[in-house]
């Protein structure tokens, strides 16, 4: 199927039904045009090639389990209706050629030269890391062309990087590995790329949430084979909406703050001769609290206590959803947010304490929720700067957005939904599923 035939595919009922599941009924027409524009951009760059395919990978929202995955804890997260989409085809060469419309990038990578640059930063290093991750994991790679765009907000805690990573994993799986790879394999390759080609101490949460799709709970006790469970739930079923608010400064220059969180938690584990906190109990930490404070420091202790309590909250939230106790679910979201603010301490960076966009937005949102008597809010994602999350009844959403944007600026609040699909090959999925399995 060439570019023109793929444009016609978008006009069919199957494509429109799929896009409705991705983005909601009201957004189908604009996304058909978005994909059509992307295909025409590909044709202009690479010609009207045969065997072109469409791919989509969502961003993600984190409900609870803030900064627990890297110490083998538990999370509750979901894919969202913002995504990174791409048109791609094999080029039968030793080069991967990628054009990013969103970020105005155009680069090619030779598959024979996949060493990271000295700076270990940027999109090219990330793609090299993904390609090397495929090779190191025993999977095949090859040359392809890709034309990509994304509406996943960058540097905002909704995993624009992981969305892009999982998009490329889906392409490489489809083109060169017969669709045999699992979402767990995707996630490990994304983590490999960030850890070794960006020197970023990331876990598996972002990649898993983007790759799997829907609302999921993950237990990372065995990170090589994490336990993943899909939950049949969307906020619309409770007449609520999920809103994320971009509070200002992004988190692109806060790597040291992010790395300190897992490292300090692991420092507490080291007191017991263990590698991660999942190998230690909360009771053991409390019994040895004085010695641990001297060994690891007070903030490390607080972050460890957050880890243990956050795991319990994830369990409580999952159970509340299964038992249709939505108010209890919201109560635990609030508790999770308070723990992140007070114990984990990731709502602002100590290096610039007068910049507190997250805490100001949270304070205003708490005042709004207190007045209305309904809803919940919390810091979203990595924290320190960027985004907060609110869960509010639909009848309050418009008033809240108008209210909060007085502080954060027009167009800073985004109403989202949970998307049931993760990273997918769209062409095949219109007729038959090509969603990679949770396990292999």
Amino acid 436: pLDDT: 54
Residues 6 or more apart from 124 whose CB is under 8 A from it? 107, 109, 117
The string of pLDDT tens digits covering residues 201-252 is: 777 889 999 999 999 999 999 988 899 999 989 898 999 999 999 998 655 5
- List residues bridging with 77 in a β-sheet: 62, 216
- Among 135-139, 263-267, 402-406, 429-433, the least confident range: 429-433
Amino acid 440: pLDDT: 43
The closest of 354, 350, 164, 359 to 257, measured between CA atoms, is: 350
Amino acid 433: pLDDT: 40
Q: Residue 393 — very low, low, confident or very high, per pLDDT cuts 50/70/90? A: very high
The string of pLDDT tens digits covering residues 357-385 is: 999 999 999 999 999 999 999 999 888 88
C-alpha span between 162 and 153 (Å, rounded): 12
C-alpha span between 371 and 42 (Å, rounded): 50
Over residues 141-162, mean pLDDT: 88
C-alpha span between 38 and 142 (Å, rounded): 23
pLDDT at 2 over 50: yes
C-alpha span between 127 and 36 (Å, rounded): 25
C-alpha span between 23 and 434 (Å, rounded): 19
**pTM, to two decimals:** 0.88
pLDDT at 17 over 80: yes
The closest of 5, 1, 3 to 147, measured between CA atoms, is: 3
The string of pLDDT tens digits covering residues 266-312 is: 999 999 999 999 999 999 999 999 999 999 999 999 999 999 999 99
Residues 6 or more apart from 118 whose CB is under 8 A from it? none
C-alpha span between 198 and 117 (Å, rounded): 10
Over residues 27-51, mean pLDDT: 95
Amino acid 402: pLDDT: 97
C-alpha span between 98 and 90 (Å, rounded): 12
- C-alpha torsion angle, residues 61, 281, 332, 216 (rounded to 10): 40
pLDDT-above-90 percentage for the chain:
82
Amino acid 45: pLDDT: 97
Which tokens go with 6? 């793929």
pLDDT at 348 over 60: yes
Q: Which domains are present in the chain?
A: 3-231+419-431 (3.30.230.10), 235-416 (3.30.70.890)
DSSP string, 320-334: HHHTT-HHHHHHHHH
Q: 421 φ, ψ to 5°?
A: -115, 145
Average pLDDT over the chain, rounded to an integer? 93
Question: Helices 357-372 and 394-408: crossing angle, nearest 10°?
Answer: 150
Amino acid 251: pLDDT: 52
The closest of 195, 196, 134, 123 to 164, measured between CA atoms, is: 123
Amino acid 198: pLDDT: 93
CA distances to 61, 84, 141, 407 from 187, rounded to whole Å, are: 16, 16, 17, 36
C-alpha span between 139 and 172 (Å, rounded): 9
Q: How many CB atoms lie within 10 A of CB 51?
A: 12
pLDDT at 438 over 60: no
The string of pLDDT tens digits covering residues 244-270 is: 999 986 555 787 898 899 999 999 999
CA distances to 72, 267, 270, 348 from 273, rounded to whole Å, are: 16, 10, 5, 31
Amino acid 329: pLDDT: 97
Which tokens go with 178? 């017969």
The residue assigned the tokens 């991750």 is 133
C-alpha span between 343 and 354 (Å, rounded): 20
Which tokens go with 183? 């979402």
Q: Residue 156 — very low, low, confident or very high, per pLDDT cuts 50/70/90? A: low
Instruction: Classify burial at 11, counting beta carbons within 10 Å of its beta carbon; exposed 0-12, middle 13-18, buried 19 or more.
Output: exposed
The closest of 35, 54, 81, 145 to 422, measured between CA atoms, is: 81
Contact 336, 378 (CB under 8 A): yes
CA distances to 272, 329, 361, 379, 435 from 210, rounded to whole Å, are: 34, 22, 26, 19, 12
CB-side exposure of 390: number of CA atoms within 13 Å?
A: 31
CA distances to 29, 231, 232, 270 from 215, rounded to whole Å, are: 25, 5, 7, 33
Amino acid 234: pLDDT: 86
């Amino acid at each position: 199927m060439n570019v023109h035939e793929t444009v016609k595919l978008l006009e069919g009922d199957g494509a429109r039904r799929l896009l409705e599941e991705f983005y909601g009924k009201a957004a189908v027409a604009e996304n058909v045009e978005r994909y059509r524009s992307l295909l025409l951009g590909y044709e202009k760059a690479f010609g009207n090639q045969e065997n072109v395919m469409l791919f989509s990978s969502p961003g993600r929202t984190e409900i609870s389990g803030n900064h627990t995955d890297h110490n083998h804890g538990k999370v509750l997260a979901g894919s969202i209706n913002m995504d990174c989409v791409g048109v791609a085809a094999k080029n039968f060469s030793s080069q991967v050629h990628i054009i990013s419309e969103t970020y105005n990038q155009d680069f090619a990578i030779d598959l024979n030269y996949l060493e990271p640059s000295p700076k270990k930063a940027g999109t090219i290093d990330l793609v090299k890391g993904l390609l090397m991750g495929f090779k190191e994991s025993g999977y095949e790679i090859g040359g392809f062309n890709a034309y990509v765009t994304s509406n996943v907000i960058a540097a905002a805690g909704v995993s624009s990087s992981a969305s892009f990573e999982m998009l490329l994993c889906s392409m490489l799986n489809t083109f060169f590995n017969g669709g045999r790879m699992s979402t767990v394999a995707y996630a490990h390759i994304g983590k490999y790329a960030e850890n070794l080609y960006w020197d970023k101490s990331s876990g598996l949460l972002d990649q898993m949430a983007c790759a799997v799709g829907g609302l999921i709970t993950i237990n990372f006790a065995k990170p090589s084979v994490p336990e993943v469970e899909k939950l049949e739930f969307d906020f619309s079923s409770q007449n609520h909406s999920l809103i994320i608010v971009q509070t200002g400064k992004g988190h692109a220059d806060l790597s040291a703050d992010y790395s300190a969180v897992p490292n300090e938690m692991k420092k507490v584990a080291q007191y017991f001769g263990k590698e991660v906190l999942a190998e230690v109990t909360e009771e053991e930490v409390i019994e040895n609290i004085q010695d641990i404070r001297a060994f690891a420091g007070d903030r490390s202790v607080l972050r460890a206590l957050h880890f243990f309590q956050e795991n319990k909250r994830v369990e409580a939230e999952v159970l509340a959803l299964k038992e249709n106790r939505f108010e209890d679910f919201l109560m635990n979201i609030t508790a999770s947010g308070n723990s992140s603010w007070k114990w984990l301490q990731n709502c602002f960076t100590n290096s610039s304490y007068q910049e507190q966009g997250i805490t100001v937005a949270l304070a205003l949102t708490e005042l709004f929720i207190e007045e209305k008597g309904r809803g919940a809010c919390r810091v979203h994602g990595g924290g320190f700067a960027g985004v907060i999350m609110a869960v509010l009844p639909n009848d309050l959403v418009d008033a809240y957005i108008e209210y909060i944007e007085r502080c954060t600026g027009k167009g800073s609040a985004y109403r989202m939904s949970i998307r049931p699909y993760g990273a997918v090959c769209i062409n095949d999925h219109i007729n038959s599923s090509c969603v990679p399995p949770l396990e292999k």
